[in-house]
Amino acid sequence: MARKRTVLLALTDAHHGFFRGVARYAREHHWHLVADMIYTAKIPIGWRGDGIISFIGYRDDLAEFILSSRLPTVEISMVRNDINLPRVEGDGDMIGRLAAEHFLERGYRHFVWAPLMDDIVNAERYGGFANRLANEKLACHVLPPADSRTAPGGTRDWAARRRLLIRELRRLPKPLAAFGYNDCVAADLIDACDNAGLLVPEAVAVMGVDNDAMLCECLRVPLSSVCHDLEGMAYQAAVVLDRLMAGKKAPKEVLRVPPTGVVTRRSTDILAVNNLEVAKALRFIHDQYSKPLLSVDDVVAATNLSRRPLEKAFRKELERTLNEELLRLRLERVKDLLATTAMSVTEISGMTGFTRPNHLHRAFRKHLRISPRKYRLQQISRGRAHTRATRGPRKQAQRGA
């Protein structure tokens, strides 16, 4: 029986997704993990084991410890690309592009990037975001870094930085799409918008990175976020470390792990419109569409306009009426529930604002040219076909192994 490996987690300044990824690999391969640094942040001088998984960040003392240990080590970051270690990193360019495409789909024309630091990882995410916008001949403003350690002339005064952030957010054209380096930076943007009297997402839509549910879902306005696959990165780092501990060579290139998509929450869940009263109407409809007795008069009451000017402005912005938008949202939700649940049409009608199941049937057939039952069967059939397609190559690979 192979000897159990002992691995140090030198991850003092990292996301908990990293811990889950390494822990999953450790369970599968019977590693013993030394996790003291997660809790103490203290370097275990004199420790001896089989290998290290690290996130060095800007800690020179940690870099010195790892290099002097001469143990197999895999770094989960490109921040310290001056240190010659095998490393696993996310795809910053793709993260930026996903964020840009999310905003472009919603019709935004004004954009701002909010960095954490002035380093290579921030530069990659900004590059992916700005280059995707440039393809559409759109520009991107840049805010000062949130962490002043790398900002020329930066300040450690939180209040001074907040005043600067509020001034910049007010100055930039609206509606504005703001992309933060991570969820923490994006959460700070939402807070600054609140201080500035700017509605999120009506005036400023905000996107983060990492999809840290504990942070994203506890904010005043729940935060949309690019799913940076941190758990997958750490798992791949453990795979590479296992190879190194077995005496095999390290990969010559940085191993890139792509993001898995975007989770949309309220901070970007709206279309970009120039008229603030139309934005208020849209938000009210998005929040209240499941109520069966919701009327156009209710929507009008949520704005500062009377019915005729609001309907005229709404049609000008979205090229559809208030009633058409209400029905569109209800049908989209019906389609989602038909495809992802086993709920009956009666149950779905009660959840999506239709007064009766036959009302849902008529609207569904009229606008989608298909019955709810046939739509559900189509989605089930497509799901099975996708499963067969993804399983086929895996089975083939297993037979060939």
Token pair, residue 116, equals: 């954490």
**Are 69 and 101 part of one and the same domain?**
no
**Are 325 and 301 part of one and the same domain?**
yes
302 inside domain: yes
Q: Determine contact, residues 108/78, Cβ cutoff 8 Å.
A: no
**Are 119 and 27 part of one and the same domain?**
no
**Are 195 and 344 part of one and the same domain?**
no
pLDDT given at position 58: 85
Backbone angles phi, psi at 225, to 5 degrees: -155, 145
**Are 216 and 104 part of one and the same domain?**
yes
**Are 101 and 219 part of one and the same domain?**
yes
396 inside domain: no
Of 285, 281, 286, 284, whose CA–CA distance to 311 is shortest?
281
b/e per residue 19-55 (b: at least 16 CB within 10 A): bebbbebbeeeebebbbbbbeeeebeeebebbbbbbb
In this structure, what DSSP letter does residue 87 have? B
State how far the Cα of 238 lies from the Cα of 369, in Å rounded to an integer: 51
> In DSSP terms, which residues pair with 208 in a beta bridge?
225
399 inside domain: no
Given strand 176-180, what is the order of strands in its sheet?
141-142, 110-114, 176-180, 204-209, 224-226, 262-263
335 inside domain: yes
Show contacts of 157-161: CB within 8 Å, 24+ apart: none
Token pair, residue 399, equals: 């037979």
pLDDT digits (tens, 9 = 90+) for 68-101: 999 999 999 888 888 889 999 999 999 999 999 9
pLDDT digits (tens, 9 = 90+) for 119-132: 899 999 999 999 99
243 inside domain: yes
CATH number of the domain that residue 342 is part of: 1.10.10.60
- Which amino acid is residue 153, in one-letter code? G
Q: Which helix (H) or strand (E) holds 114?
A: strand 110-114
**Are 32 and 146 part of one and the same domain?**
no
State how far the Cα of 11 lies from the Cα of 274, in Å rounded to an integer: 45
**Are 162 and 36 part of one and the same domain?**
no
391 inside domain: no
CA distances from 242 to 11, 66, 201, 248, 365 (A): 18, 17, 45, 9, 56
Backbone angles phi, psi at 53, to 5 degrees: -110, 125
392 inside domain: no
Domain tally, the chain: 3
Backbone angles phi, psi at 51, to 5 degrees: -175, 170
pLDDT digits (tens, 9 = 90+) for 298-348: 999 999 999 999 999 999 988 899 999 999 989 988 998 998 889 999 999
Longest Cα separation, the chain: 79
pLDDT given at position 346: 93
State how far the Cα of 380 lies from the Cα of 363, in Å rounded to an integer: 22
Expressed as residue numbers, the domain containing 86 is 6-90+231-257
Strand duo 51-54 + 73-75: pairing: parallel
CATH number of the domain that residue 165 is part of: 3.40.50.2300
**Are 115 and 204 part of one and the same domain?**
yes
pLDDT < 70 stretches in the chain: 1-2, 148-156, 383-401
Q: Determine contact, residues 334/352, Cβ cutoff 8 Å.
A: yes
- State the CB neighbour count (10 A cutoff) for residue 228: 28
Query: What is the sign, positive or negative, of the torsion defined by CA atoms of 212, 214, 219, 223?
Result: positive
pLDDT given at position 283: 83
In this structure, what DSSP letter does residue 384 have? H
pLDDT given at position 385: 61
382 inside domain: no
**Are 177 and 137 part of one and the same domain?**
yes
Token pair, residue 113, equals: 């990037």
How high is the mean pLDDT of the chain?
89
Residue 113 contacts by C-beta under 8 Å, 6 or more apart in sequence? 126, 129, 130, 140, 141, 142, 143, 178, 179
pLDDT given at position 391: 45
Among 268, 291, 325, the domain boundary falls at 268
Of 293, 265, 294, 292, whose CA–CA distance to 281 is shortest?
294
Of 233, 217, 235, whose CA–CA distance to 225 is shortest?
217
**Are 308 and 350 part of one and the same domain?**
yes
Token pair, residue 370, equals: 């298909």
**Are 197 and 247 part of one and the same domain?**
no
